[in-house]
Amino acid sequence: MNDYLQQMETFARQNKIPVILPPTREFLCNLVASKKPNSILEIGMAIGFSASCMLLSYDKAKVVDLEASLPNIALAKQNFKALGLEDRVEIIVGDCIKTLPNLVKTGQKFDMIFLDGPKGLYVDMIDMLLPMLNDDGVWVSDNVLFKGMVRGGKPITEHRYINTVQTMQKFLQILENHPKLNTKTLDIGDGLCVVTKKEK
């Protein structure tokens, strides 16, 4: 990881902006480097850390990034510029539950999707994201094992986590039992769900 990315990660942790954990970064970077996706859709950009990591792993990749927080967007733009990545990122500003349906309508498809946005909406996004994934694309979702509370028996420590835990359980149940998908749930970072489409 280069010095600037390291600074971004430190800034995020100091300012309590959640970004991907180191094992997740390593997994994503390896995946991008081997799969070479030309087009990536990310839901949840924050300050652009994961997007920058992915873009620096394959120099032909471009990212369409959905983000609602204006302060995060301002910081992400600064970061992309500093890394010389600004021409490879299109930022769609606003609540993804509103901006995603518009993106679906454009008919755009992606070689890779990285879902790292509002956890309570993961289930609602399934039917929007699947049609946007190319037949040979890969869709990775973060936080699906949420602090070990989704599987593995760790108790739910705070009332406010109940919705997230239940959403993730439903999300995994749908994707793991989907007849047209290959789904692997990996105990990496906060839990990654990796989906590809079965051959027709």
Ligand X SMILES: C[S@@+](CC[C@H](N)C(=O)[O-])C[C@H]1O[C@@H](n2cnc3c(N)ncnc32)[C@H](O)[C@@H]1O
Which residues are near ligand X by CB under 6 A?
A: 18-20, 44-46, 49-50, 66-69, 72, 95-97, 116-118
Per the CB < 8 A criterion, the answer to whether 147 and 18 are in contact is no
Sign of CA dihedral 43, 48, 50, 55: positive
Shortest reach from residue 177's CB to ligand X, in Å: 26
Shortest reach from residue 80's CB to ligand X, in Å: 12
Cβ burial, residue 98 (10 Å; 0-12/13-18/19+)? exposed
Per the CB < 8 A criterion, the answer to whether 119 and 167 are in contact is yes
Query: Of 18 and 23, which has the nearer Cβ to ligand X?
Result: 18
Q: Could you give the CA distance from residue 110 to residue 80 in angstroms, rounded to a whole number?
A: 21
Q: What are phi and psi of 136, to 5 degrees?
A: -105, 20
Query: Of 88 and 178, which has the nearer Cβ to ligand X?
Result: 88
Shortest reach from residue 180's CB to ligand X, in Å: 27
Query: Of 75 and 195, which has the nearer Cβ to ligand X?
Result: 75
Shortest reach from residue 47's CB to ligand X, in Å: 6
Query: Of 97 and 197, which has the nearer Cβ to ligand X?
Result: 97
Query: Of 102 and 136, which has the nearer Cβ to ligand X?
Result: 102
